[in-house]
């Protein structure tokens, strides 16, 4: 998982762009919160002129512990794409509404399209950009593990989709293609979404086709499961050494055991090394990885007509299984339940620091 970077001016000023025509007050507040919470650490490093952004989220594998900021503009492009996807997820009373209202100060062109498979795509044409990017967002995250799947299933599945597809069977083929095109590819599993994204300097159409195969024909072979199980275990072990993850897991473990928040999202050998894990992974994939639960955002220097032609040609391949979006209604800290609220928890940090965190319902 990689920290997402944005233009500091966007961080300080209200967003000038508004997607969809209906009232946006609540959606804007939530979107601002999401962007702020995921970008704070990256922005701090960026504002200080740091050459590197160190994430406080475990990387997809041990080889990705830091990301070199190729350019300030690249950061804007990446979060711009992720931001568009967030808008599409959070808002829109009518998912068939394809109208977009953008600021008169924004020279880029936008277009939203709905495929017959119910997959929604936002296209951004920016003739001035030298970097193309895309993000594919699936409306399920580690809350989807729920009580039916082993802890870490959603995260483990994210890893395995990189390990070869029917069309491109080579393990880590996506990494090779993106890096060969002067780019990068990664993904992250959040509580209610899983996001796969990339940027490239050229060959956008090829990159899109490579990425879409994750959702068309993944392999999830026995040897890739063994390999990525070690990678997930490594992430878990790394998390044990950081106060950020320890304190977060402590909070989750202190919540109601009837809530999906009370879980273990990373996973480890102890939760995932099962004889039926391949079967459970396919079950999770078939339940949630459906076109009607997927949104896409693409930005490039091509015209909107060209981007739309590519998007329709490539993303129509993702099948629509008409699956229902998972809903999580149980509160992690039920008001009035003294077992979960009005408590103080003390623990010995791994680093030499003192801190206090207050959580208000």
- The pLDDT of residue 192: 96
The lowest-confidence range among 125-134, 215-224, 267-276, 329-338 is 329-338
Dihedral sign (CA 5, 6, 12, 18): negative
The active-site residue, picked from 25, 26, 109, 158, is 158
| Reported pTM | 0.75
Mean pLDDT, the chain, rounded, equals 80
Q: What is the Cα–Cα distance from 251 to 246, expressed in whole angstroms?
A: 9
Please give the structure tokens belonging to residue 361.
């319902």
- Could you give the C-alpha distances from 120 to 60, 123, 170, 320, 323, in angstroms and in order? 26, 10, 29, 12, 15
By C-alpha distance, which of 262, 263, 195, 269 is closest to 235? 269
Taking a C-beta distance cutoff of 8 angstroms, is the pair 316, 117 a contact?
yes
pLDDT exceeds cutoff 80 at 81: no
Active-site residue, 148 included? no
Contact 200, 180 (CB under 8 A): no
Helices (H) and strands (E) counted in the chain, each on its own, are 11, 10
Is the pLDDT at 11 greater than 60? The verdict is: no
Question: For residues 320 and 290, is the Cβ–Cβ distance under 8 A?
Answer: yes
Rounded Cα–Cα distance for residues 341 and 361 (Å): 9
Written as six digits, the tokens of 233 are 């275990």
Confidence of residue 352 (pLDDT cuts 50, 70, 90): confident
Place 83 in a pLDDT band, splitting at 50, 70 and 90: low
Contacts of 344 (CB under 8 A, 6+ apart): none
Beta-carbon-side half-sphere exposure of residue 232 (alpha carbons within 13 Å) = 28
Q: How many CA atoms lie within 13 A of 157 on its CB side?
A: 35
* Residue with the larger pLDDT of the pair 27 and 330: 330
User: How far apart are alpha carbons 162 and 187 in whole angstroms?
Assistant: 9
Q: Is the pLDDT of residue 36 over 70?
A: no
Whether the predicted pLDDT of 91 surpasses 60: no
Using 50, 70 and 90 to split pLDDT, how confident is the model at 361? low
Pairing verdict, β 120-125 and 100-101: unpaired
262, 357 Cβ separation under 8 angstroms: no
Quick one: pLDDT at residue 94?
A: 57
d(CA 183, CA 206): 12
**Euclidean distance between CA atoms 318 and 216, whole angstroms:** 5
User: Whole-angstrom Cα distance, residue 281 to residue 153?
Assistant: 7
Confidence grade of residue 1 (pLDDT, cut at 50, 70, 90): very low
In a 3-state reduction of DSSP, which class is residue 53? strand
Least confidently predicted of 58-72, 234-248, 278-292: 58-72
Region of poorest pLDDT, from 29-38, 231-240, 251-260:
29-38
DSSP readout, 160-185?
A: HTTS-BSSS-STTHHHHHHHHTT-EE
Residue 323 is classified by DSSP as P
What is the pLDDT at residue 344?
Answer: 84
Give the model confidence (pLDDT) of 340-351 as tens digits.
888 888 888 888
3-class secondary structure, 355:
coil
Closest C-alpha among 225, 161, 199 to residue 300: 199
Condensed to tens digits (0 to 9), the pLDDT of residues 180-237 reads 999 999 999 999 999 999 999 999 999 999 999 999 999 999 999 999 999 999 999 9
Specify the 3-state DSSP secondary structure of 204. Answer: helix
């Amino acid at each position: 998982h990689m920290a997402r970077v944005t233009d500091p001016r966007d961080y300080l000023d209200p967003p000038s762009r508004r997607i969809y025509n209906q009232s946006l007050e609540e959606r804007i507040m939530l979107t601002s919160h999401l962007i702020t919470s995921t970008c704070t650490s990256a922005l701090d490093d960026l504002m200080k002129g740091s050459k590197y952004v160190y994430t406080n989220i475990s990387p997809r594998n041990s080889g990705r512990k830091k990301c070199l900021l190729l350019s300030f503009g690249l950061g804007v492009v990446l979060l711009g794409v992720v931001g568009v996807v967030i808008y599409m997820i959070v808002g829109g009373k009518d998912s068939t509404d394809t109208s977009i209202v953008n600021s008169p100060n924004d020279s880029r062109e936008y277009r939203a399209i709905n495929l017959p498979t119910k997959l929604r795509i936002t296209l951004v044409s920016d003739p001035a950009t030298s970097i193309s990017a895309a993000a594919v967002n699936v409306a399920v995250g580690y809350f989807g593990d729920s009580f039916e799947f082993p802890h870490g299933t959603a995260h483990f599945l994210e890893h395995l989709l990189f390990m070869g597809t029917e069309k491109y069977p080579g393990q880590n083929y996506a990494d090779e293609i993106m890096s060969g095109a002067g780019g990068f590819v990664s993904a992250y599993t959040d509580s209610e979404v899983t996001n796969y994204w990339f940027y490239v300097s050229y060959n956008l159409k090829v990159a899109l086709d490579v990425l879409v195969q994750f959702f068309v024909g993944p392999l999830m072979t026995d040897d890739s499961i063994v390999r990525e199980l070690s990678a997930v275990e490594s992430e878990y072990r790394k998390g044990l050494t950081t106060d950020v993850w320890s304190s977060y897991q402590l909070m989750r473990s202190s919540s109601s055991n009837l809530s999906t928040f009370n879980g273990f999202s990373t996973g480890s050998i102890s939760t995932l090394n099962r004889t039926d894990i391949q079967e459970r992974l396919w079950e999770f994939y078939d339940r949630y990885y459906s076109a009607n639960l997927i949104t896409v955002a693409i930005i490039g220097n091509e015209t909107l007509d060209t981007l739309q032609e590519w998007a329709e040609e490539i993303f129509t391949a993702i099948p629509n299984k008409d699956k229902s979006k998972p809903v999580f209604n149980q509160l992690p800290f039920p008001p009035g339940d003294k077992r979960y609220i009005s408590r103080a928890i003390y623990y010995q940090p791994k680093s030499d620091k003192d801190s206090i965190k207050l959580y208000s319902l």
